[in-house]
Chain A
């Protein structure tokens, strides 16, 4: 099992440009979540995709958008890059479960190695 994979590993862009990051989930996982982690901070939730739709979203502007494909892989797109978008972008995958008590919920998330984005 390859685990969660992300590409590219590193990326350098300039202000105003657009970027696309990619993620392949762990085998058997159908849900993908994206996080932004600034230096010295914990990961901040951007959004989550399930069944090719955005299921939940954190407090990030519309410049951040995503997509999930039928094979469960996902892309994160960021438009009009700002210096403050420089961070480690993490993808996490998880299986979605259903229980009588909790309804539909995501189980434990497993993270990829991240993409380091630098905006100059």
Chain B
């Protein structure tokens, strides 16, 4: 069964303290691994799409990486405005997109 598991469920960091969020997945025929940022009560905001193992993408303080079983979202020197829930999702051969439950990230000033 296709699944997405994100860890940790919640993470509190001091401003400037770098860390990584994990997304473990099982899927038949990966056709895209997605990262979104979601602020409370709002729709998810697209961050990255990764298609194959070894691929990396960066945007400001965020960097997403992909292996055959996991994806990581690395956050370098975070700021309080990076506080949000980060969602991981994948699309399989059946073209359905499955989301994880997200990691709630809180950056303390």
Contacts and interface: CB of A to CB of B under 8 A. Distances in A.
Contacts of B25: none
Interface string B72-109: 00000000000000010101001111111110000000
Contacts of B42: 113-114
Contacts of A110: 46
Interface string A37-61: 0001111110000000000101000
Contacts of A7: none
A108 B101 contact: no
Contacts of B96: 45, 56, 58
Given A108-B34, A114-B42, A41 B49 contact: no
Contacts, number: 54
A105 B36 contact: no
A82 B32 CA distance: 34
Given A42-B102, A102-B31, A111 B45 contact: yes
26 contacts: A4-B43, A6-B43, A35-B99, A42-B89, A42-B102, A43-B89, A58-B96, A88-B41, A90-B44, A102-B31, A105-B31, A105-B95, A106-B91, A106-B95, A108-B32, A108-B34, A108-B46, A109-B34, A109-B46, A109-B97, A110-B46, A111-B43, A111-B46, A113-B43, A114-B41, A114-B43
Interface of A: 4, 6, 33, 35, 40-45, 56, 58, 88, 90, 102, 105-106, 108-114, 116
